[in-house]
Structure 1
């Protein structure tokens, strides 16, 4: 069963990784909205070691961020967004404290 659905607000975990990950550092700790479910696949941390067959598999999600959420000094339009894909382990449900209104 998937942990998140399209429209859910999530926060990218602010965790360090000693190995390969596709989770960009500048997105960690930031609030975004799930806009697409992707198929379950081997996580990047295992894929980097060639463990495509026996690696850990998880659902993936595309998350949309307001660019002003990622960069407070962003000089572009307030409606500009950026999307990125994350394995489920990198996402946490948004809480009342960090949820946008």
Structure 2
């Protein structure tokens, strides 16, 4: 089992990459900063899980990342403290520099 690269409280950026295959990484989160708020167990990455490679697929730690909705959507009209949380495999995260 791999040791998580990111800790709770770390600021991360979601990589702004394209993929030809299935991913759970929403387009609207790509390129945006968020904060790691929880760890999930290591699991097969969605790109391999989609091909039913549960036994042979690449496994990585997963993270729950929290975003301010006003940073995801500039025209957001809700409260400034509103947040959104989503789960990402480690390959989609990079540290904020």
Q: Which residue of 2 aligns with 1:28?
A: 30
Q: Deviations over 1:21-71 (max 9, x none)?
A: 000000000000000000000000000000000000000000000001100
Partner of 2:75 in structure 1? 73
SS at match of 1:36: strand
Q: CA RMSD in A?
A: 0.4
Instruction: Report how many residues are paired.
Output: 95
Instruction: Indicate the SS of the match to 1:20.
Output: coil
Separation (CA, whole Å) in 1 of partners of 2:6 and 2:66 = 14
Gaps of 5+ in 2: none
User: What whole-Å deviation, never above 9, does each CA across 1:67-101 have from its counterpart, x for those lacking one?
Assistant: 01100111000000000000000000011xxxxxx
Q: Which runs of 4+ in 1 moved over 6 A?
A: none
Structure 1 residue runs without a partner (length 5+): 96-101
Report how far residue 2 of structure 1 moved. 1.4
Give TM-score scaled by structure 2 length: 0.97
- Corresponding residue for 1:49? 51
